[in-house]
Structure 1
Amino acid sequence: MPATENAAVPDNLLEPSASADPYPVLRALRDADPVHWSEPHRAWLLTRYDDVSAAFQNKAFSSDRVRPLLAARAGRPEQPSTAVLGLMSSWMVVSDPPAHTRLRKLAAGAFKGQGIARMDGMITRIVDEHIDGFLRGSGPQDLIEHIAYPLPTTVIATMLGAAPEDRDRFREWSDELALVAFGAGGTARADRHERALRGLREMDAYIRELIAKRRTDPGEDMLSALMAHDGDADHLSDDELVAMCALLLFAGHETTTNSIANSILALLRRPDELDRLRQEPGLIGPAVEELLRFDGPIKVLIRWVVAETEVGGRTISPGERVHLVLAAANRDPAKFTDPDSLDLERGPNPHLAFGKGIHACIGAQLARMETRIAVSRILARMPELALAGDPQWKVSLASRAMAALPVTHGARRTS
């Protein structure tokens, strides 16, 4: 075990209490032992803003963290968990340069070609469709089930050119992947790898059918944009196209669902800030940035150590893991004044909710837009929105996610 001080500091981020409210635990870690070896996670926990920010630029910390796990399972190729990792190993988010540089360049061109900034009308229509359905109900309802959860997959399925009737399949596939990729705790089902593998294989077959269709009949969708370099010396292979679409679906669904739900919860718990945003809707841009800082969609990003390095006076060795605790960094008082308070006009606001550097989230612009539009339309169309009970938090290492957010909407508004 690496040498560390303050081993008695609570450091199990999968405890139910830490899932419901991780910030007291993270504050204690940051104050007492900001570069902390955690036995429960068998990893170093970095909780200071400057350390986490610097780690994104540190070449000793590799994003290529799936292949080492695969290497350790070389003698167990038949296990579902090994097959799932094999399918995920080609994702851009778990690769390093030069592979990452090439994939990101090709993907960035597709995002640019899609004109994300021009998608606000489409996203607004989808948001309003979900709100319409929500308003037809009465009594306590789950805002996640009816709005925050279906919205991102509807947007992504639409962007990829999938048929509207297939949107539910996209949600199912994303859910199966989340069980594995976001480090679920002890409540996770024992068959999660089997389910994830089944979902990945179904998704693989579906996307390959879409690829074949777009080759003969390209459209204005993201998949066609990703295939725009077909025939060039450097282009995405079919396997890479499948991996890119799977990543867009998975990453875009989970994080945007959490961003919307966490934002609404934070506002409902702070009526003064909620009223302020309703009275000044033009604040929605900086408000979303602050909501992302305050309680963002991702708690932890994982890195694999490939070279000896030093952080905060601690030596971190090759073969160890490092958890970049974004949730702690974004509330570091050394970087943010009064960090545990929600200030919708906070500025500057250099939060790390979407990462930093070459691995900064490529879909951040889309996620921001979806969150801005969803929060704005929910507040505008539900003037009497209120909590109807305590939220149910998922036990997850990486994801800051609720399973349910019960609310009542009161009087209906159609515009």
Structure 2
Amino acid sequence: MKLPERNVEIFSPISPSMLADPYSVYRHLQREDPVHWHEQLNAWIVTRHADCIRILGDPETFINDYRKIGEEAPEDILGLQTLDAPEHTEVRHLLIEAMRNIDMPAWIEDCSRVADELLAEVNLERFDYVKQFNEPLALRSMCLFFGIPHFGDEAKFHEAQRRLVLSMDFGLNPDLLEPGVEARRYCTSVLAPYAINPPPTGLLAHVDFGRTGPLTGYVLNALRQMFVAGFLSSSSTLSCITRTLVERNLLNLDEPLKVSNQVYNELIRHSGAVQVDTRGCAETVTLGGKEILRGTEVLLVPAAANRDPAVFSRPDDLDFTRESNPHLGFGKGVHACIGAHLAQSLHMPVLTQLSERYRLTLAEPPVQRPTGTLRGLNHMFVTARPR
């Protein structure tokens, strides 16, 4: 790896070099500067697994609700990802109670049927896995899960998601922030009417809005965050791990690939979409030999932690026999991804089914999406030859 010139920031997630390969930068930081000060972001970048675990396991010191350190937070962004106890605990429990009422086998069966319909519509000789299969599947699967027929105008939805995912990197480009805020407001406006008139089936039918009281706004924001994550994070993750499989010719084997729990977790560890998570420091602490002052932002990098050689042998290898796999691809602790099991329940059968029915190969090189916080693809044209 060629090191940057002096005074040139090595951690530049939306630069062409890091979009192409963030992992060489992560390795360098883990080895040379695992708690790294970033002037532009005015934040610490944390890359070692042990330090990330420390942050995720101490929600009283490393907080999600930045109001606790004196920062302003618009009410319409406060939800699962941006609240702490006790509000976060109450909102999360309400949503988990509602999720327990979902017939998961029926949902997975419905999603598999959608996947079949989407594949029936494409030209198997050359189609865009991202735009013609993955993203439509993610959107329709979340509509089914929420119990709604659609999410408003589809073009508006996709534009909102584009602005939202770009806005995750606003620290590197402040112009991205406001379009992302507006995108969040738009998504909430689509979901809000269902709080008044819930659909007969799906998640929204089981959210007890009669109990939400003063938390109603937070619950709506949390539902928006769930829907958006179910689309953006889920589709980004499926794009990233499918790319890994196709580039390694693992969906073109004589024996179809069965994507078990062990296989899926190794794919998430190796190629998960979530690169960065953020916390505010509520108390001055020492981390990795550095003093982190109260009020400072900390950016932990799960994608780096997932390839930490202190925890994972041969971390850059894709090893489906790996048994110990404490990856952080879905977070950890009280703010761990509430929909992790949904993504896994959807992705495992979809990938297995694809492998059983087709041999997938790249038709042309994938086109990387220019986002650093949530890695993903704009396009990936593939060929699917029936077995």
Contact 1:387/1:407, CA 8 A, preserved across alignment: yes
Say whether the 8 Å CA contact 1:263–1:375 is kept in structure 2.
no
SS at match of 2:316: coil
Number of the residue aligned with 1:62: 63
- Tell me the residue number matched to 1:226: 207
Tell whether the 8 Å contact from 1:283 to 1:345 is kept in structure 2 after alignment. no
Q: Partner of 1:322: helix, strand, or coil? A: strand
User: What's the offset of the Cα at 1:118?
Assistant: 4.9
Indicate whether 1:395 and 2:370 are aligned.
Answer: yes
Match of 1:79 in 2: none
- The TM-score, its normalising length taken from structure 1, stands at 0.83
Deviations 1:56-109 (A, max 9, x none): 0123211114786963xxxxxxxxxxxxx6254321111111111111111111
Query: 1:379 offset after TM fit, Å?
Result: 2.0
Is 1:255 aligned to 2:233, yes or no? yes
- Per-residue deviation, residues 112-164 of structure 1 (Å, max 9, x unmatched): 12243553212211222222222xx2554321001121211211112222224
SS in 1 for 2:315: coil
Deviation sequence 1:216-241 (CA, Å, 0-9, x none): xx5221011112xx444x55754234
Mapped to 2, the partners of 1:95 and 1:270 lie a distance apart of 40
- The residue type equivalent to 2:80 in the other structure is M
Pick one of 260, 269, 275 that aligns with 2:247.
Answer: 269
Kept in 2, the 8 Å contact 1:67–1:89? The answer is: no
Corresponding residue SS for 2:197: helix
Q: Which residue of 2 aligns with 1:314?
A: 290
Separation in structure 2 between the aligned mates of residue 314 and residue 404 of structure 1, nearest angstrom: 41
Q: Distance in 2 between matches of 1:165 and 1:317?
A: 42
Q: Distance in 2 between matches of 1:268 and 1:198?
A: 36
CA deviation vs aligned residue, 1:166-203 (integer Å, no higher than 9, x gap): 472544433332232354865x9x5x555445444443
In structure 2, relative to structure 1, the CA distance for the partners of 1:266 and 1:365 (3 Å cut) is: same
Does residue 208 in structure 1 map to residue 192 in structure 2?
yes
**Could you say which residue in structure 1 is the equivalent of 2:3?**
none
Rounded to whole Å, the distance in 2 between the matches of 1:274 and 1:204 is 38
Give the 3 Å change call, closer, same or farther, for CA 101–282 of structure 1 in structure 2.
same
Give 2:147's match in structure 1, choosing from 161, 173, 183: 161
Report whether the alignment pairs 1:177 with 2:164.
yes
Q: Is the 8 A contact 1:90 1:243 kept in 2?
A: yes
Q: CA 1:70–1:131 in structure 2 vs 1: closer, same or farther (change >3 Å)?
A: farther
Change (3 A) 1:360 1:210: same
CA distance in 1, matches of 2:51, 2:12: 20
1:27 matched to which residue of 2?
27
1:90 to 78, 89, 107: 78
SS at match of 1:119: helix
Q: 2:269 aligns with which of 285, 288, 293?
A: 293
SS class of match (1:149)? helix
1:376-395: CA deviation from partner (whole Å, max 9, x where unpaired): 22222322x21122222223
> Residue 378 of structure 1 aligns with which residue?
354
Query: What is the Cα deviation at residue 275 of structure 1?
Result: 5.3
The 8 Å contact of residues 184 and 397 in structure 1, kept in 2 or not, is answered as no
Task: Return the alpha-carbon distance in structure 1 between the equivalents of residues 120 and 214 of structure 2.
Answer: 39
Q: TM-score, normalised by structure 2?
A: 0.89
2:145–2:203 Cα contact (<8 Å) kept: yes
Select the residue among 346, 351, 365 that pairs with 2:322.
346
Q: Is contact 1:153-1:171 (8 Å) kept?
A: no
Range with bigger deviation, 195-204 or 321-330? 195-204
RMSD of equivalent CA atoms: 2.6
- Give me the whole-angstrom Cα distance separating, in 1, the residues matched to 2:170 and 2:361: 31
Consecutive unaligned residues of structure 1, counting only runs of 5 or more, are 1-5, 72-84
The letter of the residue matching 1:64 is D
Secondary structure of 2:99's counterpart equals helix
What is the aligned partner in structure 2 of residue 240 from structure 1? Answer: 218
Cα contact 1:153–1:167 (8 A) shared by 2: no
* Residue identity in the other structure for 2:261: G
Structure 1 residues 44 and 391 mapped into 2: Cα distance closer, same or farther (>3 Å)?
same
Helix, strand or coil at the partner of 1:315:
strand
Instruction: Check if 1:151 corresponds to 2:151.
Output: no
CA distance in 1, matches of 2:180, 2:289: 40
What secondary structure, in the 3-state scheme, does the structure 1 residue paired with 2:74 have?
A: helix
Confirm or deny that 1:337 pairs with 2:313: yes
* 1:294–1:340 Cα contact (<8 Å) kept: yes
Do 1:300 and 1:325's aligned partners in 2 also have CA atoms closer than 8 Å? yes
Number of residue pairs aligned between Structure 1 and Structure 2: 380
Uncovered stretches (5+) of structure 2, i.e. residues with no partner:
1-5
Matching residue's letter, 2:195: I
